[in-house]
Amino acid sequence: MKLFSLDVTEGEMILLEGRNGQGKSYLLNLIAGLIIPARGQVLLREKDVKTLSESQRSKWRRSLGLISSTTDTLFPNYSVEDNVSLVASALEVDEERIEPRVREALDLCKLNEYARIAVKDLSEGLKKRVLVARALVNRPDLILADELLANLDEGFKMDLIRLFTKLPEFGYTVVLTSTSRLQRNSSKFRIVPLEDCS
């Protein structure tokens, strides 16, 4: 196995590109503190994840915006707004802050017009925007999005990429994985290929 090093700088967007099985999801799990590396180092705010207690790792994870590739985690019969506010409640956001946080997340994801619509009535691309809005509601220190572009046509893929490239303008840091090869000349995000890391 070859050595791999990745520094994530506050306020940037990183796209990890690679084929299935090349360790993209594994790398996100390392960053999230869900996996303790057998060798090497994962530094979370300059602290080695190996030295953190489970409660410290749990606290770290609560500061993240974790986005999976599947929309199965959404509540299909609930509205877009309710899907986002339920996550805010679960993360123990102060009750008086939930509504403005939900509005802010829906606005950033351009979901205001769909706020009262049940998730089951949305297209797959819009459902994935709801996943992003749920991740934003706790104003995370870092957003980790695993294969969010999967199973989308090119139009919806680029729609999500445009959304993610805007998030650093609002102070968010993003690490996104993808098996798709996207445009190579963008100055909006840093592409890290994983071809040589298997």
Distance separating alpha carbons of residues 172 and 116, to the nearest angstrom? 26
Query: What would you report as the CA-atom Rg of the chain, rounded to the nearest whole angstrom?
Result: 17
pLDDT of residue 144: 96
- Nearest partner of 96 among 107, 109, 85, 81, judged by Cα: 85
pLDDT at res. 198: 43
Amino acid 4: pLDDT: 75
Domains of the chain: 13-197 (3.40.50.300)
d(CA 141, CA 111): 22
Q: By the 8 A CB rule, do 173 and 45 touch? A: no
The confidence score (pLDDT) of residue 195 equals 66
CA nearest to 130, candidates 170, 70, 60: 70
pLDDT of residue 66: 93
pLDDT at 55: 92
> Cα–Cα distances in Å, from 103 out to 30, 74, 83, 146, 170?
31, 18, 12, 24, 15
Residue spans of the chain under pLDDT 50: 196-198
Report the pLDDT value the prediction gives residue 182, as an integer from 0 to 100. Answer: 64
User: Which residue in the block uniquely carries the two structure tokens 């590739």?
Assistant: 69
First to last CA, the chain: 6
pLDDT given at position 18: 84
